[in-house]
Structure 1
Amino acid sequence: MEKQNHIFDDLFIFEMANSHQGSVEHGIDIIHAMGKIARKHNIKAAVKLQYRNLDTFIHPDYKDRTDVNHIPRFMSTRLTYDQFTQLVDAVREEGMITMVTPFDEDSVGWCMDQGVDIIKVASCSALDWPFLTEVARTQKPIIISTGGKTLSDIDKLYNFFTHKGCEFAFLHCVAEYPAPMERLQLDFIDRMNRRYPEVTIGYSGHEDPDDNTVPMLAVAKGARILERHVGLPTETITLNSYSMNPEQADRWVQAAVNAKSMCTTKKENDKYVSQEEIDSLNSLMRGVYLNKNIKAGEEIHREDVFFAMPCHDKQMNSGEFIEGIIASKDYKVNEELHEKRKVTQISQVRSVIHDAKGMLYEAGIALGEDFEVELSHHFGMQHFRQIGAIIISIINREYCKKLLIVLPGQKHPIHAHKVKEETFQLLYGDLLVNIEGKERYMKPGDIQTVLRGEKHSFTSTKGAIFEEVSTTHVKSDSYYEDPRISKLDPIERKTILRRW
């Protein structure tokens, strides 16, 4: 499954502190203040309310008790359904996303009646299965806080909502108010992203509202949602120690936006290197200079050159020098070398291998030591990045297991097998398989069987690694539709590597 570009991504959640004191007017004032911040920073923002049907949520014998934690606050800030509707409408008028944390089945119904955009599951409700069942029935986007939940608990939630067909996100959360810095465990965001790669992971913070290193670190760790309690202090209202006033919320958003800018690569799936960076490093590189006279046509060896600053434009640098390069002109002692490094098949193979290894590292796939690598280059190594594949043979008995690596933009041409039946399972990346003219886009985990005699090809946009499990592999059992390929001896279109 692929992580979806969804309402969750890059979302800021402003949670109403202390149920906005049970005042619709004060709640609307907070919503207006958060709307200004959202527009100032041009962010995707949600304001989150909390719903409870207090007629049934609290046991009748406890409604008037003042000695039970939370109940007096809930009762004193009670709002009606119509009053909550006014707040939801105010959020919409500010152009923000409507979001509610319901705490019982009745309030889930209120969310549906009001057309709320996102339902939030609080940490205290995250293992309340009757309640979660009702939430899942809505098929609304769901965000689940994981405060106080073990990894096993989170796995249960993942499986529950996945089986229910819901779109959901997880928030790493430490359910202490305020949360001590030494217990924030922001590394757990990394682990959640690895464990649930198709789920958007975020962070719900309860730390000191003036410390904006935490949201920056959370973003750097991969959090795509950030949530904080916000409020509006007045002469009679004082915020608690973990809630932000508008000025603090503004600085919190700015810090997160800055962190995203610092952490985001400019080129998709690659590292951006600016011309300024290249020029800066080039000014420190060593150039190649001759320490003897060389005639055109002579080989140049390591003892014939020395490396020194500066390295001029179009001059060969020390990293480009290779033993035995042929001089294209006469050179005098101390003259800078201006030969171009020729692209050889060895350098092309080495470049491809390095890219393939990098993909395996990124996918977390270990090969061990007993395998054979085949570069299948149907039109030569010079065209390998366009046409071909890397085939890693791991087992070939009565059954066969291979790993195939398809580089970004690479295509493996139409062919069929008469002896072998094979099944593909995509482990990493994206893969478009064409079987007998029918295309199928595969996502990681997907399985596709290719029967004997079926013509098939495959390609990838961003690169792919897939496992092939088949009957015994027999040499010369690949029959290509393109006559230019079919007439080649297999040795002409394969490079075999025993070690890489």
Structure 2
Amino acid sequence: MREITIGNRKVGPNHPPLVIAEIGINHEGSFEKAIQMVDDAFEVGCECVKFQTHVVHDEMVPNNVIPGNAEESIWDIMSRCALSKEEEYRLKKYTESKGMIFLSTPFSRAAAVQLEEMGVVAYKIGSGECNNYPLVEHIARYRKPIILSTGMNDINSIKKSVDILRKYNTPYALLHCTSIYPTPYDKVRLGALEELRDTFPDAVLGLSDHSLSNYPSFGAVALGASILERHFTSDKNWPGPDIPISMDPKELKELIEGSFAIFQAIGGRKEILEAEQPTINFAYACVVTLRDIEAGEELTMENIWVKRPGTGEIKAEHFNSLLGKKATTNIKKDEQVRWEYISE
């Protein structure tokens, strides 16, 4: 069975989807903003918030590379947005005091060590590190559940990371992801979930989505996703490279409620439910007389037909089998026909 446990939360096909509010660096280095986003996520029923842990000097060398969704270098962005270890510890403690799950993505070995020292219950590895096999192995050695995003990686690349996770018997989940900000709907490719399911039968599956609505996430649940992750902000007017693709509290609430509704709706078999009987009672049609019928009279299209309600003994499906048979007794007009009234 595909299932992992994060803290006390079981995650897999037999459980409601885990919705992760990806706060990331939307706080822009402000601890107060980070706290506000935790509060706002909690108020709409979110179970899990996720941050990013950046130890910049261990993560990258100084550079002038500008991400596609930003106007300054990645070095400058992360230098400005990185929270201190003490601030992250306080965030974790505050989040967990509200009964929520605290997750963070380490972008370097030093960041992973820092999170392990903080006692996190699980790790999220971002798409950019999916093929960073030395870092994947470092984190896998902790043998805590790992949620691995797979954007910018194909099946062969993902297999190498999964082999590492299996080597250490690390519980894991794979999130399909498209690393385009924002992601056009025709680039979301929910069909990848089936490919991941077939290739990695022991993986819990999910979607990390960068589109501009909840629609892909809802579709993913119907296709078996057990984890949904989207960027989150308290205010879409705040500055930050990820703000334009982030959901606000209203959208987060809709994602939580909608994904749970879809989870409840999937599965089952095409069979008649006991709870449908009250509807059957009025909606089905049964064989009734169109006029008085005398004993011995032949049943024809002119003297019997099918009408509601569905409380009669002979349902419409048996109508044709009655034609040509004879009544064994007098039957009044508009009476529901019974089998005992008909000759064999």
Q: TM > 0.5 between the two? A: yes
Distance in structure 1 (CA, Å) of the matches to 2:288 and 2:109: 79
Q: Shift in Å at residue 129 of structure 1?
A: 1.2
1:203 Cα deviation from its structure 2 partner = 1.2
- The residue type paired with residue 249 of structure 1 is P
Residue of structure 2 equivalent to 1:229: 231
Which position in structure 2 is the counterpart of 1:53? 55
RMSD (Å), alpha carbons: 3.6
Q: 1:178 to 1:92 in 2, by over 3 A?
A: same
| Secondary structure in 1 matching 2:104 | strand
Which deviations, in whole Å up to 9, do the C-alpha atoms of 1:141-162 show, x marking residues without a partner? 1101111222333344444323
Alpha-carbon distance in 2 for matches of 1:146, 1:170? 7
Normalized per residue, the structure richer in helix is: 2
Unaligned runs of 5+ in 2: 67-72
| Residues 25, 286 of structure 1: alpha-carbon distance in 2 compared, 3 angstrom cutoff | closer
**Counterparts in 2 of 1:283 and 1:234: CA distance versus 1, 3 Å:** closer
8 Å contact from structure 1 (residues 311, 317) kept in 2: no
1:29 matches 2:36: yes
Change (3 A) 1:32 1:256: closer
Letter in 1 for 2:173: A
CA separation in 2, counterparts of 1:313 and 1:198?
49
Please state how far the C-alpha of 1:140 moved relative to its aligned partner.
0.8
CA contact (8 A) 1:284 1:309 kept: no
1:120 — aligned with what? Answer: 124
Q: What is the one-letter code of the residue matched to 1:91?
A: T
How many angstroms apart in 1 are the aligned matches of 2:286 and 2:237?
70
Contact 1:193-1:199 at 8 Å conserved across structures: yes
Aligned equivalents of 2:188, 2:49: Cα separation in 1: 24
Deviation track 1:76-120 (CA, whole Å, cap 9, x = no partner) reads 223332222122112112221011111222222222111112201
1:315 alignment counterpart:
313
List aligned pairs for 1:233-272, cutoff 5 A.
Answer: 233=235, 237=239, 240-244=243-247, 248-265=248-265, 269-270=268-269
For 1:330, the aligned partner's letter is T
CA deviation after TM superposition for structure 1 residue 228, in Å: 1.3
More strand by share: 1
Displacement after TM superposition at 1:293 (Å): 6.6
Q: Under a length normalisation based on structure 2, what TM-score does the superposition of the two structures give?
A: 0.77
Structure 1: distance between partners of 2:263 and 2:83: 42
How has the CA–CA distance of structure 1 residues 101 and 330 changed in structure 2, closer, same or farther, with 3 Å as cutoff? same
Which whole-Å CA distance do the structure 1 matches of 2:225 and 2:43 have between them? 23
Correspondence for 1:330 = 328
Name the CA shift for 1:105/1:19 in 2 (closer, same or farther; >3 Å).
Answer: farther
Question: Which of 100, 108, 116 is equivalent to 1:104?
Answer: 108
Distance in 2, matches of 1:98 and 1:287, equals 59
Count of equivalent residues: 317
Q: Percent identity, aligned pairs only?
A: 21
Runs of 5+ unmatched residues, structure 1: 341-500
CA contact (8 A) 2:236 2:244 kept: no
**Change over 3 Å in CA distance of 1:252–1:26 after alignment to 2:** closer
Amino acid at match of 1:97: I
- 1:302: Cα distance to partner? 10
Please name the residue that 1:15 is paired with.
22
